[in-house]
Amino acid sequence: MPPQLFHISRRHFLQRSTVALAATGLPAWFLEQHEARAATKPLSPNDRPSIALIGCGGRGRGIGKEAAAFGNMVAICDVDSKNLDQAALMFPGATKFKDFRKLIARDDIHAIINGTPDHWHTLVNIHALKSGKDVYSEKPLTRTIGEGRRLVEVVKRTKRLLQTGSQQRSDARFRLACELVRNGRLGRLRHVITSLPAGRHGGPFAMSPVPPELDWDFWQGPVAKVDYVKERCHGNFRYWYDYSGGTMTDWGAHHNDIALWGIGLERSGPVTIEGRPLIDEVPGGFTAASQYRVEYTYANGVTHTCQSTTSDNPGGGKVNDPKAGEMAHGVRFEGPEGWIFVTRGKIEASKPELLEIPLPSNAQRLYVSDKHIGNFFDCIRSRRQPICEAEIGHRSVSVCHLGVLAIRLGRKLKWDPAKEHFVGDKAADAFILPPMRKPWTLDSV
């Protein structure tokens, strides 16, 4: 591309981006600074890497489609042939696999897009990293805290890149909220509230025949083997503790990630955790708490409430807490000067000037990314760390895992974020890395 044409195209791109951002209601000063900081070179055709998608369910196909704008989809994999066939229609020419290990063994693949259920994230990611691939992994990054620690170690040892799919970090509203908070716009930060959609509430569920297109044993992988129940599989897997942590890990991996970013502890964590369910789960039904409240404290004195929102509960049921709120899900930062609330599509504050007064030129600024999966592909070329690298993704979901354990154990937990162990609580430590079903253990990769 001639230099003059590139300059015109670049300027046109920035102008369009600024107009689009202006429509979001962000303050003018932030938009002006955003244009100057959002200078990422688009990938040229010669830069397009070969990519592969593992996990071709609805979300997997969604992120696969996003990734295909930046690379060439050469292989797809799923243990459900219906999912695999649907992905093949989206990515004609991509080779189909049912065993992710055979796909990863190909030496012509640069990056893996991991859209598997949560209990498969870590094994697939580690196998790919050790095979020399960079990885874009759906969130929550891991099923347990111990898996996360091992994954971070593998990333460091292999010197590969891993981007966690907590895409709110690449939304200008969330970055603005965190920059304001970290620069003292609210005074000394006192409290954070993360409000998450409530989970599914229902059951009991009956066993049924395994669909012919599904390899149920392979789908279960590292977790305890059980008879097939259709409500356990595909989109509903996240409401069972065997595979995930309910909306606490599903949406919590988004909003609690932003809470840590605003507090400035995205590579650390809380020191105490207390949690409880707000509704009794149905025996024989979904096991993950559908409605809950968790209270965290951090070493710097900031407190943090993570709560489900009753208005988002798709399963109904009476809430056993009169304080359960109707707040829209999102993140609210509170300090002596007021509050800032941010969620997808909206940022607002207790006083307009909290948003409207520009930050000074010497203010602390945060990593700029305008397109989350695009940031990953930019980093493949530059070898810069992505905005939500492995340590950050691990710490964000660790906060969620700690909340889940507090809810399940029903007692106050003390946590050492540096050593990543509970203080004087061997029973709780057993949940950090519970046994995995052979042959699908961490040692297998």
DSSP code per residue over 11-43:
HHHHHHHHHHHHTTT--HHHHHHHHHH---PPP
pLDDT of residue 361 exceeding 80, the answer is yes
pLDDT value at 312 more than 90: no
- Residue 4 has a pLDDT of 36
At 210, the amino acid letter reads V
End-to-end CA distance of the chain: 44
Q: At what angle do helices 390-409 and 252-263 cross, to 10 degrees?
A: 110
Most confident of 46-50, 128-132, 323-327: 128-132
Write out the H or E segment, with its range, that includes residue 400. Answer: helix 390-409
Mean per-residue pLDDT, 259-275: 98
**pLDDT value, residue 42:** 54
Q: Evaluate if residue 438 carries a pLDDT over 50.
A: yes
Q: Considering only 36-45, 179-188, 208-217, 355-364, which range has the smallest mean pLDDT?
A: 36-45
What integer pLDDT is reported at residue 301 of this predicted model? 98
Mean pLDDT of 148-167: 98
Q: Is the pLDDT of residue 283 over 60?
A: yes
Which of the residue ranges 18-32, 221-235, 285-299, 368-382 would you say has the lowest mean pLDDT?
18-32
For the entire predicted model, the pTM comes to 0.90
pLDDT at 325: 43
Nearest-angstrom CA–CA distance, 258 and 403: 16
215 — pLDDT class (breaks 50, 70, 90): very high
**pLDDT (mean) for 295-300:** 98
Q: Which of 65-69, 208-212, 314-318, 393-397 has the lowest mean pLDDT?
A: 314-318
What whole-number distance in Å separates Cα of residue 191 and Cα of residue 40?
A: 35
Tell me which amino acid residue 141 is.
L
Strand partners, 198: none
In the prediction, which pLDDT does 13 show?
42
| pLDDT tens, residue by residue, 15-58 | 555 555 566 779 988 887 776 665 545 555 567 999 999 999 99
pLDDT at 318 over 50: no
Instruction: Over range 320-331, report the average pLDDT.
Output: 62
